[in-house]
Each structure stands twice: as C-alpha cells, then as structure tokens.
Amino acid sequence: MRGYVTRRVLALPLIVIAVYTLVFFLARSSPGGPWDPNLPVPQSVIENLRAHYHADEPLIVQYWELAKNIVLEGDLGPSYLAMRRNVSTMIAEALPISLALGAASVGLALIVGVALGVIAAMRRNTSVDYASMGLVMFGISVPPYVITPVLVLVFAIWLPWLPSQGWTGLFSKAAIIPVIALALGPAATVARYARNSVLDVIRLDYVRTAEAKGLPPRVVITRHVLRNALIPIITVAGLYITRTLTHTFYVEYIYGIPGMGRLGVDAVFGRDYPVILGVSLVVAILVAVTNLLVDLTYAWADPRVRLR
C-alpha cells in the first residue's frame, strides 16, 4: 500500500509535466498572438510585444523559462488581453469561485443521486423506479449548455424568482441555477450507479440476516446496504468530478460567473494563450489529484482492494 501511494504521488509531477508540454506546444502552434507575423501593427510594436512575452527567444528557451517561473514563483506570465495582469493573479481570483461552485454541485449531486438510486432500487420495477430512471436518462442526456439557459428562461425570465445571471457568493439566490445545472449530470450518473450497486448488495446473505433478525428497514439500508453499495460510487467519482470541471466552462459562461470556466472561455474567444495554458494546467492538476484521491479513498473504504 505504501509503495503504491509513493508511486502514484511520484507519477503526479510526470503527468503535470506531460500536460504542460502538450499544452505549451499546442498553444504555441495555434495562429494568433504576439508571435503571429501577420499582426496589422508596425514592426516596432510587434518587436516590443514579442519582447514583453519573451516570444523573441527560441521556443525551447521559452518552454524552459516558463516552466521555471511556474515552479519557482508560481508565475504564469502576463495575459495577452489584459496585458498588465498576470495570469496567476487572474487564476487566483477565479479558482475559489469555481471550487465553491463545483464542491456544492458535487455535494448536491451525491445526496440527490444516492437518494434517488436507493429509492429506485428499493421500489425496483415499479413506477417509482421507472420514473427515477427516466429522470436519470434525462439528466445524462441534457448538456449543461441546454439546461442552464432553460433554467434561466423558466425560473428567471418567465417566473421572476431568481436572478438571470451573475455571482454574489455561494450562499445567495444567484447560486441556485448554476449549482443545479452543474449537479444534474453527475446526480444522474451517481443515481444510476447507486441503483445498480444497491441491487447487487441487497441480495447478499448478510443483508438477509440483518432483515431476519428484525432490524427496521431504515437501519438495514443505512447500516448494511449503503456501506457497501457506496464503494462503486467512489470509484466513479473521478469521472463525474472531471465532468463537473468541464461543465463549469459552459455554466459559468452562460450565467456570467467570474470563475475558471468563464476565464477559460473568454481566453478561447480572445485567443489569450497564456490564460488558456494556465487554466488547462490548473484543471489538469485538479483532475490528476482528484483521480489519485479517489483511488486512495477507494482502497481505504474497501479493505478488500489490494494495491500494489
């Protein structure tokens, strides 16, 4: 187990380096930006710009210098669009918002998803089950760039209950639509896994024993069934946390939330490659760390898992 943890933690920087390399060269080979010789400005301006972004140096030097700055000083360099702003500062402002939004959504998704999955499994092959699974299919199929505008249309424009955009903190009315929009997909995925895994556990002998000794159904569910049924839900956690991360791109953009997603989309529209690089790097690190944590939690929650 300890060897496994060490190896996985040591692999983390390797993944980050690989992602950095890939993203760096992809961003540099895209058209546009200060190293584009076709910019419609005087030659001297281009030279200044190129010096400002160190684009006058050989590619490999840029690659190495940027990596050094990121590691030593957490400095991602200046943005193209907001030329005086550092990408690291922009990310430092945006990241907490997205993390709050993401955590709230994943939390909500887990609660709703597990509840829905357990209810569907308990009432298997009844209308309750079919209705829940219909809802789940809906949640899996409807993308965030459809559900967010539809929620805004219904609950902010037709029924003037909620704000139609903006961000005023997680504990305000403005957070309701984005959190629900982000939670829908993961909730559906969790519900699906929860239903299947409860159905798998429920026919095991020890559950029958628990029922036979007269425990109330509520206790059997919470103490005996859920404990084991939740393990598969942990194993797929990486999947829906990653998906939530990418979905913030759409939801934050549509709802006007100044988080990482919005930053990323604006950078894409403006071809602001330093920001794209910074956002990609942060997201890739988040994904890699999440996957590691998921695997470790899995091993901790299920002693039968032997990690070598």
Partner 1 sequence: MTDTIDVTTAPVDRPLRVDLAPRQMLWRRFRRHKAGMVALIVMTVLVLFAVFGPLLWQVDYALTDFNAIGESPSADHPLGTDSLGRDILIRLMIGGRVSLSVALISQILAIAFGTLLGLIAGYTNKHADTWIMRVIDVIMAIPDLLLLILLIPVLSGALESSWTPAWAVTLNDISLGTFGLVVGIFLITWTFVARLVRGQVLTLREMEFVESAVNIGVPRPLIMYRHLLPNLSTILVVAATLGVPRGVLLEAGISFLGLGVSPPLPSWGTMISDGLSVMRSEPHILLAPAIVLSITVLCLNLLGDAIRDAVDPRSST
Residue ranges in contact with partner 1 by CB under 8 A: 15, 18-19, 22-23, 26-27, 29-32, 124, 137-138, 140-143, 145-146, 149-150, 152-153, 157, 192, 196, 202-203, 207-208, 211, 242-243, 245-246, 249-250, 253-254, 264-265, 268-269, 271, 276, 279-280, 283-284, 287-288
Residue type, 129: D
Q: Read out DSSP for 150-214? A: HHHIIIIIISTTS-SS----TTSGGGHHHHHHHHHHHHHHHHHHHHHHHHHHHTSHHHHHHHHTT
Alpha-carbon gap, residue 277 to 269, rounded angstroms: 14
28 vs 54, beta carbon nearer partner 1: 28
Query: Shortest Cβ distance from residue 82 to partner 1 (Å)?
Result: 19
9 vs 51, beta carbon nearer partner 1: 9
53 vs 253, beta carbon nearer partner 1: 253
How many C-beta neighbours within 10 Å does residue 231 have? 16
Alpha-carbon gap, residue 181 to 105, rounded angstroms: 8
Burial class of residue 308 in the structure, from the number of CB atoms within 10 Å of its CB (0-12 exposed, 13-18 middle, 19+ buried): exposed
How many C-beta neighbours within 10 Å does residue 147 have? 22
Query: Shortest Cβ distance from residue 41 to partner 1 (Å)?
Result: 20
Query: Shortest Cβ distance from residue 162 to partner 1 (Å)?
Result: 15
78 vs 264, beta carbon nearer partner 1: 264
The alpha carbon dihedral of 168, 258, 149, 248 has a sign of negative
Query: Shortest Cβ distance from residue 303 to partner 1 (Å)?
Result: 25
48 vs 256, beta carbon nearer partner 1: 256
Query: Shortest Cβ distance from residue 274 to partner 1 (Å)?
Result: 13
179 vs 283, beta carbon nearer partner 1: 283
Burial class of residue 236 in the structure, from the number of CB atoms within 10 Å of its CB (0-12 exposed, 13-18 middle, 19+ buried): middle
Query: Shortest Cβ distance from residue 83 to partner 1 (Å)?
Result: 21
